[in-house]
Chain A
Amino acid sequence: MKLHIKQFIASAAFSVSALLATAQNADQIFKAAGSPANPKVTVSWNRYYDHAGITEICKKIAAAHPELAKLQSIGKSYKGRDIWCLTITDFKKGNPDQKPGMYIDGNIHSNEVQGAEFSLYTAWYLTETFKDTRFIKELLADKVFYIVPTINPDGRDSYFHEPNTGSTPRSGVIPVDNDRDGLTDEDGYDDLDKDNEILLMRRKSATGRYRVDPSDPRRMIQVGPDEKGDYELLGLEGKDDDGDGVVNEDGYTFQYDPNRDWGWGWQPNYIQNGAYKYPFSLPESRAVMDFVMKHPNIAGAQSYHNAGGMILRGPGDPTDQVTYNPQDIQVYDIIARKGEELIPGYRYLIVHKDLYAAYGGELDWFYGGRGIYTYSNELWTPYLMFNKDATRNPQDNSNFQFDSYLLFKDAFVDWHEYDHPQYGKIEIGGFKKNFGRAHPGFLLESDAHRNMAFTIYHAYHTPLLNVDTVTEKDLGNGLKEVTAVISNSRIMPTHSSHDLKFKIERPDYISISGVKAVAGMVVENADLNITTEQATNPERIEVANIPGLSTVTVRWVVQGSGKYTISVDSKKGGVAKK
């Protein structure tokens, strides 16, 4: 621990001197609404950062804002990389572990990279706007954000630095014998043309069913049943490395799926492709689980994926409808519908129904295992190219149009010849891995901002408890009745309905101190005087839940006069006193 502090001081000193050199002169700047005009930490949000890059930005944020951000490693990846977590809150106000928490992570799938930048943007934005924005100031006084930009740093670096497609690798990098022949990773993709991209292979063929699009020579189109083609497609760049007659069948790019490794409705790999050994058998998901178990104040959570423009809730398991009960779905619906407004092109969907059945996913464990309202956003949608919905029309070539007129053909590798050991003369070409699922640079910041706004709305609506009114009534004989109304002014209850069903989190405690409580009771109906007494420990009344946008009333019969304090203590709802 001591060592860590030293490191922080050292890095803080370093970045302060770096800042002096790079910060803009305040006189030269005119503030654009809603963005920090002269941030202490400057970050370009139109590009991607590998794990070392993320590490540096995290350290800079923590060093520049010691009273708003703390950095810790919540565990190590399989290859030993730190999984960084930024805790963002107003550390001068209250105990961070007792504030309702919002957990955000990204990049669980290696190639779904921009979740890390979106998460980091959130940490950066909260810390940089705190000074000037009253809403953010109040938010960080009440709430705490736990931001883990990448929970899959090995996979992230592998995606950037190894030859890949936009869709690979999906998994982390623990080797697996996918074809079960006793050898691991003996036949993966081959970067035949050595450009760090895995592209498509095509070959001239008299019987091929493809031809070149006359309107864009980069594009292959399928010919109709009465037409003749002149090309065949041979799949992704690779060869039969192990001589078993199959190409690319056991590579490192799909070992397992980290998002099928979570402890709610987990199923083995013959039911759920990609499941590893057992829930949390991967070090990265285990680190996140351990962190969440140690932070029962986490009330809301967000994980970032790509792509498709979706705000997803569970269940992933089609047989698990019962877990997502109507009361909780109301909360899910309100927040996600707001999300649809805030992020144009994104739709609120349900995993198993609108996407596919997925067992043992992260969002299902957060909610099913811990009772935390959780969404996964599938970042990037073709809608963002021309602000209109993409079509499934085979003639729709908007990808190519977008690349041509807005990216100036930077996203495509032109077809070029290659002499293949098994296929003979072929051509290699296609979209680069940074196009199709990852945002193009100029759209990265704006979509990060919109998605962040959604998570802020989510965090804002974690419970906010207050001891509203306290009234007294003299009962004679030195006894008096004290009645307290506790309010929750946000949408989320202190316990989701699923939590209540399994008693996942302990009850909320409403306590009186400073006087002797002779009796304590929950007031079910104040007007009709219907109460339920708690016979033991009357000074600390246990209530199962404090519902959203609602109140709970408790009453004590107390002896003695003098000042007393009434306090409420809820794991997910935070603390308040009067």
Chain B
Amino acid sequence: MMKRIGAYLLCMLCYNSITAQTGYSNFAQQSNRINALAKANPQWVKVKSITKTTGGKDIWQITIGSGNTESKPAIAVVGGVEGNMPLSSELAIGFAENLLQGINSDSIKNLLNKTTFYIFPNMSPDAMEQYFASLRYERQGNATSTDDDRDGKSNEDGYDDLDGNNKITWMRVESPIGTYRVHPNDPRVLIKADASKGEKGTYLVFTEGKDNDKDGNFNEDAEGGVWFNKNLTFKHPSFSQGSGEYPASENETRALLDELFDRFNVYAVISFSSNNNLSTPLSFNPQAATAPVLAGWLMPDTKVNSMVSDLYNKTVGLKDAPASSANGGDLLSWGYYHYGRFSFSTPGWWVPKTKPDTAKNEKAFTVEDATANYLRWASQQNIGNVFTEWKTIQHPDFPNQKVEVGGVDPFVMQTPPFSLVPDLVKKHSAFIVKLAAAQPEIDIINVQTEKLANGLTRITLDVINKAALPSHSKLGERSYWVKRINVKVNNSSSQSIISGKKIQLLNALEGYSSKQLTWLIKGTGKVTIEAGSPTTGTKTIEVTL
């Protein structure tokens, strides 16, 4: 009971402090912010829980739009794709908050009259709580109990906070057969020794912990769980840690997929994850794109990726993104290959490349290393408390060896100081709004009628996509979860269609492209012709015969 009151008070506090948010939001705070949006903007925002995780946490869906939201082309925005990236949820919720802060402006009203946004701020709420827990470590697994090392026992060898600092960092063990050596420019950092270059290692490196089950491995089966970004269906990495016993095994995975499969109006999925095809677009790989089991974006779709990536880089202005590749079971790949929509993902932030500060007598690195770069950047930005100094401990599994615990702290390398977050939210929101401005839109132009003879009329017109983005991805043309452009002639019983189809389905219309159609109709009076699909909106015209 006391606990509940405590939680309630805490919620009240965070509710009151929305405008002066000072740090990343935990799940309760996220939930409050999300529900506060719906409360403050009932005509624009609907919030629902699409499921609960095994940990009992709601997966929230925020729908932002106006009127019949399902009849408007839509963008899905997904955060918490990986549980160790709290920034991703801030970007997703922040986007929603940003939009609604501007709700009195004509530009946002016009946007929401044309576009619907489905926002799923956190797909990994069970894992993300570890960021706020008393023992902090980077976790991606949800609360489902898993046997990560597949030995018949679950969660029998988790991390151990050996130095008692409430964080799981690293341990290094001095060893003549070590595989790591000290970084030549920063002695705090360990790098792989390359035996082929004659380098000799001096340390074995492990994550912080004991071999609790005495199987010779450290921390190989910690608490949790299934990783959302490994549980989806494209190239599901079956039987690897965190993938789940089969694809889409988790409530949250299925709930998202079920929800999106019903939303035929979604033309793009934007997710915040370690996968990145926004800084650098995916290139066309003809072999993969023509394989029986398709594994590469189709040529026209890679062109769209280039265009959108350009838009992203110009709007967000982040440079030197680290290379990334989707490893299967991930949302970025699912959005394209199995959902058939344009799918884009970005981490939203990464450590900038540093230059040596000559005033501090720093020299250029002789060995490039992400951790060394991060520590230099953090020190130049006066960001403290990101590194645990190496400290010798007595380790029961290494009775006569020197074991030290320390190293770079969890989360810090993909989680910017919170002071940077508002600007990141602003820039990413601007990007999504610009992408929405390029959304496919159907129009009917160049309508011509020719009277041939005796009540026989030929109608000719162009169905066009007057926007930069295609009506559908090229791949979407093949999927029955993507609706085609449907062109219908509504004629009365006294009018008959002599040539041309009453109903016809068109393939994807590329950006700024058209398709000419023609009919011969017998009769007099008016017919209406409508063309559209859920991702393009529908246009109806009236033609006098």
- A: residues with CB less than 8 A from B are 176-182, 242-245, 263-264, 266-271, 277-281, 289, 293, 318-319, 357, 359, 365, 368-369, 502-504, 506-507, 535-536, 542
Bound complex: CA A279 to CA B254 (Å): 10
* B486 and A277 contact, CB distance less than 8 A: no
* A293 and B338 contact, CB distance less than 8 A: no
* A268 and B238 contact, CB distance less than 8 A: no
Bound complex: CA A440 to CA B476 (Å): 44
Would you give the shortest CB distance from A273 to chain B, in whole angstroms? 9
Q: Write out, one digit per residue, whether chain B residues 125-153 have a CB within 8 A of any chain A CB (1) or not (0).
A: 00000000000000000000001001110
B479 within 8 A of A: yes
Stretch at the interface among B80-88, B401-409, B498-506, B512-520: B498-506
* A266 and B484 contact, CB distance less than 8 A: no
Bound complex: CA A289 to CA B249 (Å): 11
A277's partner among B294, B481, B484, B533 (CB-CB below 8 A) is B481
**Which A-B residue pairs are the 10 nearest by beta carbons?**
A506-B152, A263-B246, A270-B478, A503-B150, A502-B239, A244-B503, A536-B214, A278-B248, A278-B233, A268-B338
Bound complex: CA A536 to CA B215 (Å): 8
When distances are taken between beta carbons in the complex, the residues of chain A under 8 Å from B147 are 506
Which A residue's beta carbon lies closest to that of B213?
A536
* A268 and B479 contact, CB distance less than 8 A: yes
* B246 and A271 contact, CB distance less than 8 A: no
* B246 and A289 contact, CB distance less than 8 A: yes
Show 17 residue pairs from A and B whose CB-CB distance is below 8 angstroms, ordered by the A residue: A177-B483, A182-B534, A243-B503, A244-B503, A245-B501, A263-B236, A266-B247, A267-B293, A268-B340, A271-B292, A359-B293, A369-B238, A369-B246, A504-B239, A506-B150, A535-B214, A536-B213
Bound complex: CA A271 to CA B258 (Å): 20
When distances are taken between beta carbons in the complex, the residues of chain B under 8 Å from A177 are 480, 483
B418 within 8 A of A: no
* Known A-B contacts A278-B257, A502-B150; A181 and B248 likewise in contact (beta carbons under 8 Å): no
> How many A-B contacts are there with CB distance less than 8 Å?
108
Bound complex: CA A24 to CA B99 (Å): 80
* A181 and B486 contact, CB distance less than 8 A: yes
When distances are taken between beta carbons in the complex, the residues of chain B under 8 Å from A281 are 248, 254, 257-258
For A264, A271, A293, A542, the residue with the greatest tally of chain B CB atoms inside 10 Å of its CB is: A271
* B246 and A280 contact, CB distance less than 8 A: yes
Q: B212-254: which have CB < 8 Å to A?
A: 213-215, 233, 236, 238-239, 245-248, 254
* A264 and B238 contact, CB distance less than 8 A: yes
* B238 and A502 contact, CB distance less than 8 A: yes
* Known A-B contacts A243-B503, A264-B238, A267-B293; A277 and B479 likewise in contact (beta carbons under 8 Å): no
Bound complex: CA A279 to CA B248 (Å): 7
Bound complex: CA A263 to CA B250 (Å): 13
* B261 and A277 contact, CB distance less than 8 A: yes
Known: A180-B483, A245-B501, A268-B338. 19 other contacts (CB 8 A): A176-B480, A180-B480, A181-B484, A245-B502, A264-B238, A264-B246, A267-B293, A269-B479, A270-B475, A271-B292, A271-B294, A278-B233, A278-B257, A318-B292, A319-B292, A359-B293, A369-B245, A502-B239, A507-B152
B344 within 8 A of A: no
Would you give the shortest CB distance from B46 to chain A, in whole angstroms? 23
When distances are taken between beta carbons in the complex, the residues of chain A under 8 Å from B47 are none
B482 within 8 A of A: yes
B180 within 8 A of A: no
Would you give the shortest CB distance from B153 to chain A, in whole angstroms? 8
Would you give the shortest CB distance from A214 to chain B, in whole angstroms? 42
* A506 and B233 contact, CB distance less than 8 A: no
B337 within 8 A of A: yes
When distances are taken between beta carbons in the complex, the residues of chain B under 8 Å from A268 are 233, 337-338, 340, 479
Bound complex: CA A177 to CA B486 (Å): 13
* B502 and A269 contact, CB distance less than 8 A: no
Which A residue's beta carbon lies closest to that of B147?
A506
When distances are taken between beta carbons in the complex, the residues of chain B under 8 Å from A293 are 245
* A181 and B505 contact, CB distance less than 8 A: yes
For B236, B239, B246, B340, the residue with the greatest tally of chain A CB atoms inside 10 Å of its CB is: B246
When distances are taken between beta carbons in the complex, the residues of chain A under 8 Å from B247 are 263, 266, 278-279
Which A residue's beta carbon lies closest to that of B264?
A182
A280's partner among B152, B213, B214, B248 (CB-CB below 8 A) is B248
When distances are taken between beta carbons in the complex, the residues of chain B under 8 Å from A264 are 238, 246
When distances are taken between beta carbons in the complex, the residues of chain B under 8 Å from A242 are 503
When distances are taken between beta carbons in the complex, the residues of chain B under 8 Å from A245 are 501-503
When distances are taken between beta carbons in the complex, the residues of chain B under 8 Å from A271 are 292-294
When distances are taken between beta carbons in the complex, the residues of chain A under 8 Å from B337 are 268
Bound complex: CA A267 to CA B291 (Å): 13
When distances are taken between beta carbons in the complex, the residues of chain A under 8 Å from B246 are 263-264, 279-280, 289, 365, 369
